[in-house]
Structure 1
Amino acid sequence: MKKITGVFVSILMAVLILAGCSGQGGSAQSGEAPLKVAMDLKFPPFTEMDENGNPKGIEVDIAKAFGDYLGREVEIINTDFSMLIPALETGEADIIICDMTVNEERKEVVDFSEPYLYGRTLALVGKDFAVRNNVTDEMKPEDFFAIKDARYVGLAGTISVSVPQSYGIPVEEITDVASGLMEINNGTADVFVGANTIIGNHDAYPDTTEIYWGIKEYSQSAMAVKKGNTELLDQANAFVKTMYEDGGFYKTAGDKYDEAIHNYLKDDSLGLDFIIYPPKQ
């Protein structure tokens, strides 16, 4: 009887040890809830859906890599961009990973991680306007924004409006990019300020537009968490740091995403490095 009892105790101890081990590590073992990542899946190559309706893109892979870093499963919450921050506030999402630009207004309602994407500030100008005013990339931004009688058009709520206004320039605000590009193309407006996508916009109208690269401002995009969620914020910051290290996400992803960035920017000379580092001043 004592021998049987001893065997039973040994088996029980082994089960308890295995149970304790299974509680460490990833979510599949610990039962920790999935990390709910909010993003708007209609901004390729960063966030989009494949032919089967599954999330894909650079930031989708970043979200999955962050989940691996935390040892948690990832659940993508497809959310319209305008509703991303409300999704945090209601608890529908834990974190936003969706090329969200850091600005003072958003910092009032969310906490941002360290940046992981950067956007140049560029100006699409009419070619005739550039010739008349001797616009070159060497022109100082103060001189560029001082050109008299220049007509500015910009997308409401974006740097298209805020950057020119910071130089005291009035801007005709519009609600869609296409109409602004058409105005530059047909000469009814002279300057359209934007981000990296200006490169592709110029590619659409190469005969009638030029790009001015001399603006010094640039944007930073970061992950966003609910105000006060310091634990997840610290984890996001630590992960972003690893992305840039040898063997980190960006160091191993270049070959995969360079072609996508070529296509996005309409420039074969620009790859992933162009959007993950701040521009040299």
Structure 2
Amino acid sequence: MNLVNKDTLQEFRIICADLPAPPLFWKDDKGYRHGYESDLGRLLANTLGLPFSFAYHNWADFYPALQADQGEVILCGQGISEYRKTLADFTEPYAIFDEAVMVLRGSTVRSPADLAGKRVGAIANSLNMALAETFADCICVPFGGDSDDVLGDMVQALRDGTIDAFVDDDVALVPLAKEADLAIAFSVPTQNKWGIAVKKGNGQLLAQVNEALAAVKTNGQLEQIWRKWMPSLAYPFGDN
């Protein structure tokens, strides 16, 4: 199934972060990239009839890289927010997740009210930060994403006591909660939609990626990789 004109597009380059964030993406010791988003990128490239590659950038550099044509799309944990829609156009969702708050094990935080006066981290300008800003009287601490591992930075800040909690999507925090010193304090059923970002004005590519995404939803391939990597989370596109 070839959905693109190869005279105008030769490769499907996926802008993403080179850091471990299972079950979404991570590399093994041979450098092969595993996970739900990694497999989705391969599926879409195959459906489009194009070779693909990963174009690694720090989180804060995703949209400048897209604007500079250093990749065709961003496929890396991008909740579709009003702010991000000013930076790029987005496909239909390929994932829907709730959000959660991570603390050190033994913390007394059990609800948003318990975060009053506490320092709560989240990635700047993210849906996670938007949620943190709804917690009354907490002190929001933005993480810029300009390092090699922004999730690791938040975990380390929590362990160092620089912050008291941080917000991320539940899919990223469930694996971390298996560590001896970390725990999920509570979850919030926000049902955030994640999409693939395409450079503004490139309506043709947006339509092509949407068509490829619809195809892998319809033929069951998206559900297959969801259940492979995230069997504990309900597949959100059951009616497709």
Q: What is the aligned-residue RMSD (CA, Å)?
A: 3.5
- When normalised by structure 1's length, the TM-score is 0.64
Report the residue type matching 1:173 in the other structure: V
Partner amino acid for 1:195?
D
Q: Does 1:236 align with 2:236?
A: no
Is 2:240 the counterpart of 1:277?
no
Asked whether the equivalents of residues 153 and 180 of structure 1 are also in contact (C-alpha less than 8 Å), the reply is no
Q: What residue number does 1:212 align with?
A: 186
Which residue does the alignment assign to 1:181? Answer: 158
Confirm or deny: 8 A CA contact 1:174 1:180 kept in the other structure: no
Structure 1 distance, partners of 2:56, 2:120, is: 31
Pairs aligned (count): 224
Shift of 1:223: 0.6
1:114 Cα deviation (Å)?
A: 0.9
Pair 1:273–1:244, CA change in 2 (3 A): farther
When the two structures are superposed, what TM-score results if normalisation uses the length of structure 2?
A: 0.74
Aligned equivalent of 1:153, options 93, 98, 120: 120
Helix, strand or coil at the partner of 2:215: helix
The 3 A distance-change label for structure 1 pair 128 and 36 is: closer
Q: Deviations over 1:141-164 (max 9, x none)?
A: xxx434585524213514554313
Alignment of 1:28-67 (within 5 A): 33-45=10-22, 46-67=24-45
Q: Which moved more, 1:109-118 or 1:79-88?
A: 79-88
Considering fraction of residues, name the structure with more strand: 2
Any unmatched runs of 5+ in structure 1? Answer: 1-23, 136-143, 262-270
State whether structure 2 residue 130 is matched by structure 1 residue 162: yes
The structure whose Rg is larger is 1
Q: Contact (CA 8 Å) 1:122, 1:193: kept in 2 or not? A: yes
Letter in 2 for 1:105: Y
* Corresponding residue of 1:83: 61
The equivalent residue for 1:250 is: 222
1:14-53 residue CA offsets vs partner (Å, 9 max, x unmatched): xxxxxxxxxx9588x9795122222223234433334333
Aligned to 1:117: 95
- How far apart in 1 are the matches of 2:221 and 2:56? 23
User: Sequence identity, in percent?
Assistant: 18
Post-superposition offset of 1:183: 6.6
Alpha-carbon displacement from aligned partner over 1:61-102 (angstroms, at most 9, x marks no partner): 212211221222223322332222122211221112122222
The 1:217/1:67 distance shift into structure 2, 3 A limit, reads same
TM-aligned CA deviation for residue 103 of structure 1 = 1.6
- Corresponding residue SS for 2:78: coil
Q: Which has the higher contact order (CA 8 A, sep 6+)?
A: 2
Q: Does 1:202 align with 2:180?
A: no
Q: Cα deviation per residue 1:200-229 (whole Å; 9 max; x = unaligned)?
A: 3433246x855323x232322211111011
Distance 1:200 1:238, change over 3 A: same
Cα 1:42–1:109 change in 2 (3 A) is: same
CA distance in 2: counterparts of 1:99 and 1:160, whole angstroms: 11
Assess, with a 3 A threshold, how the Cα gap between structure 1 residues 121 and 221 changes in structure 2: closer, same or farther.
same
Find the counterpart in structure 2 of residue 129 from structure 1.
Answer: 108
AA of the residue aligned to 1:231 = Q
